[in-house]
Amino acid sequence: MPATVDTKEQVEALAKRRYAFGFSTDIEMDQAPKGLSEDTIRFISAKKFEPSWMLEWRFKAFARWQKMTEPHWAKLSYPPIDYQDAYYYAAPKSDSDRPENLDEVDPKLLATYTKLGIPLREQELLAGVKNARPVAIDAVFDSVSVATTFKKTLAEGGVIFCPISEAIRDYPELVQKYLGSVVPVSDNYFACLNSAVFTDGSFVYIPKGVHCPMELSTYFRINAENTGQFERTLIVVEDGGYVSYLEGCTAPQRDKNQLHAAVVELVAMDDAEIKYSTVQNWYPGDEQGRGGIYNFVTKRGLCSGRRAKIMWTQVETGSAITWKYPGCILKGDDSVGEFYSVAITNNRQQADTGTKMLHLGKNTRSRIIAKGISAGHADQTYRGAVTVAAGAHGAKNFTQCDSLLIGNQCGAHTVPYITAKNPNSEIEHEASTSKISEDKLFYCRQRGIPEEVAVGIIVNGFCREVMQTLPMEFAVEAQKLVSISLEGSIG
Amino acid sequence: MLEIHDFQVSVQDQPILRGIDLNVPDGEVHAIMGPNGSGKSTLCYALSGRDGYEVFAGSAMLGEVDLLELEPEDRASAGLFLAFQYPIEVPGVTMTTFLREALNAQRRYRGEEPVAPMEFVQLMRQAAGTIGLNPEMLKRQVNVGFSGGEKKRNEMLQMAVLKPSLVVMDETDSGLDIDALKEVSHGVNRLRDQGRSFLLITHYQRLLDYITPDRVHVLAGGRIVDSGDASLALTLEANGYTDYQLSAA
Ligand SMILES: Nc1ncnc2c1ncn2[C@@H]1O[C@H](COP(=O)(O)OP(=O)(O)OP(=O)(O)O)[C@@H](O)[C@H]1O
Ligand SMILES: [Mg+2]
């Protein structure tokens, strides 16, 4: 009957839509010479008009990095990365003197962001959804920030939201004070590499007592071929301040792997609160595992003040390889760290992800909710470290770690590291592994819900606790993404 | 409405239904009674297309639609609704989301636009009213933490929202309290008046006190061994299935 044909066509259309952001923009680029050397670093630093202290900092990092070896403790397998066979800087030519106003931004770039569903013109943003709160956006294209919206509105409240390259020039004292203060230069191989060659990312500064009036968001787009993206983000919130920040990421569909090595540092003072959400949708590679982004990321927040709170939420659906452990250093007494994660791996994707919670202050609390979904031939590991230092009287941690498997060829692993040096602390760990059961699927289908949609609904139900922590503006998108990422995983 | 002919089903290579003939015309209610393990739920699942229930002979038509050609979701969209004997929990998915997805999937199948948000809210409230469910339940996750009776009522709520043309109720009355039984029966009778058909599977006459069936069939040993009018149920209540089991064996 014709009705079934319709349904099949719809399903096929859905399957084709699987990675909707795989297009690339044909735009004239300004690129650093291939390979990694002091010259490359000098090139980047010059492009960014950096002061000499920044260049020195990069050189030191580079010297350290050359003495380090790539870590291989994660449960990931990939061919050796040739760090000399890549570009470390690429920027649209038209952007070489960064336009002050959107009308001067290359229309091709604006069109790219419109196609990605990210309107950069403030009026379009406002005109978009009725009653929706505006979101301020910093758009990073390969190695440069091409536009930052609502800067003026934010500045009225004293909030600084700008590309980090700009902050290095305009707010050197702040950057010098905090850059590398949470993730030291030589923290790990990838963070060290980032410190040497980072290109752009966002800088956020929330002054004392200011509740940031809108969501801040950075949108990372990798476009250039064979080019690594080295994002660097720094967020500092003074006493009693609040900010909610979201980052999104996409990349074109290409056969060759590309490297994304980011460092994100958060600092929260007394009673400050930072909510950091990520919707990671880098190109995951194809069904056979060709291409895709290698995502090696170091994200860490320091609750330096009393009662400070940092909350990480991540929805990781993209990348061929994910290596990522956003964590919190709970230094201030009564400070709180939370980590909510949904990681989805399909086809040949691999993810080794989790969190690190380090309890230093008294009565510090941490909460970890990690939901892993594996389908196809994908492999996923939750790796979490909870450490309670000797002085952290009354520290409490709760960890819940659930895995959902779709099909028989994927894997899920849980590796919790727990160290408690204080006898007055409480650490609780729960874990479960389950499958999408036939009875749930049949129940949905008997109500008319097609199988693929049913999988999406059931998985979104499984992730609900995490999805609920996302800012409302992004929750719906994230739910759609979860469903789309799993298309083709059944039957 | 529903026409089943020589319907034979096996589960894990074991023949369970050995040739069922059944004809439920528009607007009629047929009851199926029979001993435990005689194949009543198997009939429900095989009609709905559940994996593992292999129809190896016979036919099943819902109006002009050949059910056996369709995927389970398309059978549902074609108008077949199964009220489960043991409703399934779907954690993290609210009743509202679940029903909206179901309704819109069925509308999409029929080439209709998705339901408007306000219209949907109204529809849910109305349905909850008819079935006697607290509308607050709609905010909860599908069947999670519902009592046995609430789960059964919830099946009826879904029926009232989806408005199928054929409802198969697998022991919906088991576990219902007296008030619930009345409310569920009331809901069924209202839909029946709109020309919808029902296949009621039950072990008890008390449901049939509220919903008078047009026909009653006895299923034993994978066959329909007797059929009659509403009075057959009363005879069964008095005598049990001993006679049939002997003849079926
Ligand atoms: N999945 C299965 N695996 C093995 N046997 C099954 C399966 N499903 C049904 N059967 C068998 O088929 C027969 C019919 O079962 P069915 O559930 O249809 O009975 P029923 O008439 O609904 O019984 P009740 O009144 O107890 O609900 C039983 O013997 C049962 O054990
Ligand atoms: Mg049964």
* Nearest-Cα residue of chain B relative to residue A452: B73
The residue contributing the CA closest to ligand 1 atom 6 is B11
Share of chain B above pLDDT 90, in %: 69
Provide the chain A residues 84-113 that lie in CB contact (below 8 A) with chain B: none
Burial class (CB in 10 A: 0-12, 13-18, 19+), A2: exposed
Q: What is the number of the ligand 1 atom nearest to the C-alpha of B222?
A: 14
Q: Minimal Cα–Cα distance from A450 to chain B, Å?
A: 6
If you count DSSP H runs as helices and E runs as strands, how many of each does chain B have, helices first? 9, 12
Q: Which residues line ligand 1 (CB under 6 A)?
A: B 11-12, 16, 34, 36-42, 52, 85
3-class SS of residue A23: coil
What value does the mean pLDDT take over residues B220-226?
92
Query: Rounded to the nearest 5°, which phi and psi values hold at A261?
Result: -120, 105
Q: How far is the CA of B38 from the centre of ligand 1 (A)?
A: 7
Pocket of ligand 1, candidates B9, B40, B51, B171: which has the most ligand atoms within 8 Å of its Cβ, to mutate? B40
Give me A472's structure tokens. Answer: 């409302």
Of B84, B88, B92, the CB nearest to A464: B92
Burial class (CB in 10 A: 0-12, 13-18, 19+), B134: exposed
Alpha helices in A116-202 (DSSP H): 122-127, 151-156, 164-170, 172-178, 189-197
In the Cβ-directed half-sphere of B160, how many Cα atoms lie within 13 Å? 27
B141 and chain A in contact, CB less than 8 A: yes
Query: Rounded to the nearest 5°, which phi and psi values hold at B221?
Result: 55, 30
What local confidence, expressed as pLDDT, does residue A395 receive? 96
Query: Rounded to the nearest 5°, which phi and psi values hold at A22?
Result: -80, 0
Superfamily of domain B2-248, CATH level 4: P-loop containing nucleotide triphosphate hydrolases (3.40.50.300)
Show contacts of A151-155: CB within 8 Å, 24+ apart: A153/A213, A153/A214, A154/A212, A154/A213, A154/A214, A154/A216
B96 and chain A in contact, CB less than 8 A: no
CB count within 10 Å of CB A1 equals 12
- Helix B148-162 to helix B95-109 angle (10° resolution) is 30
pLDDT in tens, A193-210: 999 999 888 999 999 999
**Residue A7 or residue B11, greater confidence:** B11
Provide the chain A residues 420-479 that lie in CB contact (below 8 A) with chain B: 438-440, 442-451, 453-454, 457-458, 460-465
Question: What DSSP state is assigned to residue A33?
Answer: P
What local confidence, expressed as pLDDT, does residue A7 receive? 41
- Is the torsion defined by CA of A248, A252, A253, A257 positive or negative? negative
Contact A457 B82 (CB under 8 A): no
**Residue A354 or residue B245, greater confidence:** A354
The residue contributing the CA closest to ligand 1 atom 5 is B11
Name the residue ranges covered by the structural domains of chain A.
Answer: 29-485
A1 and chain B in contact, CB less than 8 A: yes
C-alpha dist (Å) from residue B101 to A439, A449, A455, B86: 18, 7, 12, 21
Burial class (CB in 10 A: 0-12, 13-18, 19+), A131: exposed
SS (H, E, C) B23-50: EECCCCEEEEECCCCCCHHHHHHHHHCC
Neighbours of ion ligand 2 (CB under 5 A): B 40-41, 85
> Which residues lie across from B217 on neighbouring strands?
B32, B227
Q: What is the number of the ligand 1 atom nearest to the C-alpha of B52?
A: 1
What local confidence, expressed as pLDDT, does residue A421 receive? 94
CB count within 10 Å of CB B85 equals 18
Nearest CA to A390 among A352, A415, A413, A358?
A: A358
Nearest CA to A232 among A190, A185, A195?
A: A195
Which of the residues in chain A have pLDDT under 50?
A: 1-17, 126-131
Ligand nearest to the CA of B13: 1
Question: What DSSP state is assigned to residue A133?
Answer: P
Distance of alpha carbon A274 from alpha carbon A83, whole angstroms: 34
Distance of alpha carbon A325 from alpha carbon A297, whole angstroms: 7
C-alpha dist (Å) from residue A7 to A16, A17, A487, B106: 14, 15, 15, 11
Q: What's chain B's length in residues?
A: 249
Give me A11's structure tokens. Answer: 């399903």
The residue contributing the CA closest to ligand 1 atom 18 is B39
3-class SS of residue A290: coil
The residue contributing the CA closest to ligand 1 atom 9 is B42
Contact B73 A448 (CB under 8 A): yes
Sequence-distant (≥ 6) Cβ neighbours of residue A77 within 8 angstroms: A350
B146 and chain A in contact, CB less than 8 A: no
> Which residues lie across from A414 on neighbouring strands?
A382
Give me B137's structure tokens. Answer: 């339940």
Distance of alpha carbon A212 from alpha carbon A154, whole angstroms: 8
Distance of alpha carbon A446 from alpha carbon A436, whole angstroms: 16
pLDDT in tens, B69-100: 999 999 999 999 999 999 999 999 999 999 99
Residue with tokens 């702040």: A174
What value does the mean pLDDT take over residues B184-191?
85
Give me B108's structure tokens. Answer: 């999409």
Give me B101's structure tokens. Answer: 């997805």
Contact in structure between A145 and A152 (CB atoms under 8 Å): no
Q: How far is the CA of B35 from the centre of ligand 1 (A)?
A: 11
Distance of alpha carbon A31 from alpha carbon A41, whole angstroms: 13
C-alpha dist (Å) from residue A265 to A54, A431, B170, B193: 17, 29, 58, 66
What local confidence, expressed as pLDDT, does residue B24 receive? 95
Distance of alpha carbon B229 from alpha carbon A397, whole angstroms: 65
Question: What DSSP state is assigned to residue A102?
Answer: G
Pocket of ligand 1, candidates B9, B20, B38: which has the most ligand atoms within 8 Å of its Cβ, to mutate? B38
Question: What DSSP state is assigned to residue B147?
Answer: -
Contact B88 A1 (CB under 8 A): no
Contact A449 B73 (CB under 8 A): yes
pLDDT in tens, A397-408: 999 999 998 888
Contact B111 A6 (CB under 8 A): yes
Distance of alpha carbon A405 from alpha carbon A437, whole angstroms: 10
What local confidence, expressed as pLDDT, does residue A129 receive? 42
B71 and chain A in contact, CB less than 8 A: yes
Give me B145's structure tokens. Answer: 């933490």
3-class SS of residue A68: coil
Provide the chain B residues 173-212 that lie in CB contact (below 8 A) with chain A: none
Contacts of A447 in chain B (CB under 8 A): 73, 76, 81, 98-99, 102, 105, 158, 162
Strands B90-94 and B53-62: unpaired
DSSP A251-281: ----SSEEEEEEEEEEEE-TT-EEEEEEEE-
Q: How far is the CA of B34 from the centre of ligand 2 (A)?
A: 10
Q: What is the number of the ligand 1 atom nearest to the C-alpha of B34?
A: 21
Ligand nearest to the CA of B85: 2
Distance of alpha carbon A277 from alpha carbon A341, whole angstroms: 10
In the Cβ-directed half-sphere of A62, how many Cα atoms lie within 13 Å? 17
Distance of alpha carbon A340 from alpha carbon A400, whole angstroms: 10
Query: Rounded to the nearest 5°, which phi and psi values hold at A142?
Result: 55, -110
Question: Rounded to a whole number, what is the distance in angstroms from the first to the last CA of chain A?
Answer: 22
